[in-house]
Amino acid sequence: MKRIVTLTLNPTVDKSTTADQIVPDQKLRCTAPKFEPGGGGINVSRALRRFGADSVAVFPVGGPSGMLLRELLEQEQIQQQPVQTVGRTRENFIVVDSTTGQQYRFGMPGAELTAEEQQQVLHTLRNLPDVPEFLVISGSLPPGVEPEFVVRIVRAAKGLGIKVVVDTSGPALHQVLAEGVYLAKPNVGELSKMAGVDELDSEAVAAAAHTLVQDGKCEIVVTSLGPQGACVVTRDLVDHIPAPAVKKRSTVGAGDSMVAGLVYGLATGLSVRETVRLGVACGTAATMNPGTELFRKEDVDKLYRWLLQTTLPAAAA
């Protein structure tokens, strides 16, 4: 399998718990907290591990919460290239009301990543022992990091022949696409912003994505459509993939799981149409689990087989 590196500029430790009847001004009795590594690229590395695939996770880390993050990743046997920082790694908090099933997600801001620390991240990426085939840049930017820094990373990676996969949002996504990447995974809201419209229907999604490809901003665009599945566009392909109907318990980690499926498919030689179905299967499987859990491999296998059988004739694979 081809070598994969993930980059998470704003990692987190996710703390989750459950409580009965969440109401204000009352002391709420919670279950024992569960701690998990978090952040876009880190979750991609964790999801890849569920396929038995190794990747190297690059991320800034600091303080006691940073030490916990590293310990949690070691427990999951994730290869790491951490960059030490002065600021402490952020923590997020998720509570599920067990009586209603409703989920409350509290996202904390990350510590500022200084100019020197940003340079260290870039140095770490440039000096990896082996040049990867894929670099996955996923997640939000912490304070102090401008989109231009991500553009510098993309430019350096492309100079080494690395295929860059991007899953971010806002100005960072826009500027990175102006530089050009191999694969981008915007959601339909982000694609709408880039197209300069309030919303897009299925036909318009494909047209807007095709414009990105024609303009040389990326080779593959996979637009996440939420419960409607995904749309993949290349120069020669437009394909809409429905999401299988499942009982949804949480959407946390679904996007990262989808990216992992996409990268795993490409790294193992699947066709683009097969790859996107694997990505949809991973994202859908993640919604079947509560809290911050990612997908279970057996759920992915089942959903992927269903998608191949019902939406992809053998001759078209």
Instruction: Give the whole-angstrom CA distance, residue 193 versus residue 158.
Output: 26
% pLDDT > 90, the chain: 76
Is residue 194 classed exposed, middle or buried when 0-12, 13-18 and 19+ CB atoms within 10 A define those classes?
middle
Domains of the chain: 1-13+33-184 (3.40.1190.20), 242-317 (no CATH)
pLDDT of 247 over the 60 cut: yes
Instruction: Give the whole-angstrom CA distance, residue 174 versus residue 140.
Output: 13
Strand, helix or coil for residue 107 = coil
Give per-residue pLDDT as tens, 17-47. Answer: 999 989 899 899 999 999 999 999 999 999 9
Find out whether 281 and 261 touch, Cβ atoms under 8 Å. yes
Closest CA relative to residue 173, chosen from 197, 135, 147: 147
E-only strand ranges, the chain: 4-7, 12-19, 34-38, 56-61, 79-84, 90-97, 103-106, 134-138, 163-167, 181-184, 218-224, 230-233, 238-241
pLDDT of 317 over the 60 cut: no
Please enumerate in sequence order all residues whose Cβ is within 8 A of that of 309, keeping only pairs 6 or more positions apart, or say none.
Answer: none
| 256 included as an active-site residue | yes
pLDDT value of residue 278? 97
pLDDT of 83 over the 90 cut: yes
Active-site option among 167, 239, 256, 299: 256
Find out whether 177 and 212 touch, Cβ atoms under 8 Å. yes
Closest CA relative to residue 275, chosen from 185, 173, 208: 185
Average confidence (pLDDT) over 242-253:
84
pLDDT value of residue 12? 96
pLDDT value of residue 43? 96
pLDDT value of residue 308? 94
Beta bridge partners of 165: 136, 183
pLDDT of 291 over the 80 cut: no
Give per-residue pLDDT as tens, 184-232. Answer: 999 888 898 888 887 787 788 999 999 999 999 999 999 998 888 999 9
pLDDT value of residue 122? 95
Instruction: Give the whole-angstrom CA distance, residue 312 versus residue 65.
Output: 45
pLDDT value of residue 31? 94
Give per-residue pLDDT as tens, 152-185. Answer: 999 999 999 999 999 999 999 999 999 999 999 9
Is residue 51 classed exposed, middle or buried when 0-12, 13-18 and 19+ CB atoms within 10 A define those classes?
buried
> HSE on the CB side for 96, CA within 13 Å?
19
